[in-house]
Amino acid sequence: MIHKGVEYSVTAVAPGVWKWQFRIGERVVAGKTEAKLNLLAIRRVQLRIDRELKKADQE
């Protein structure tokens, strides 16, 4: 999937647990989130991407 030019992935690890990963430049960011719905997990990753892009712009 792509959000604001950043490719990311969200995969179910267990019921209600999602593993996600994305790359901005050379930096890879990964983690897990708990959500019952995959759309909620996707939205959380998109918000994280927004924060990381904003942080990268400030540097």
**Residue 56 confidence class, pLDDT cut points 50, 70, 90:** confident
Is residue 59's pLDDT more than 80?
Answer: no
Is residue 8's pLDDT more than 80?
Answer: yes
- The residues with which 17 forms a beta bridge, in sequence order, are 14, 34
Average pLDDT over residues 24-38: 95
Say if CB 19 and CB 30 are below 8 A apart.
Answer: yes
Say if CB 18 and CB 46 are below 8 A apart.
Answer: no
| Domain ranges across the chain | 2-58
Helical ranges in the chain per DSSP H: 38-58
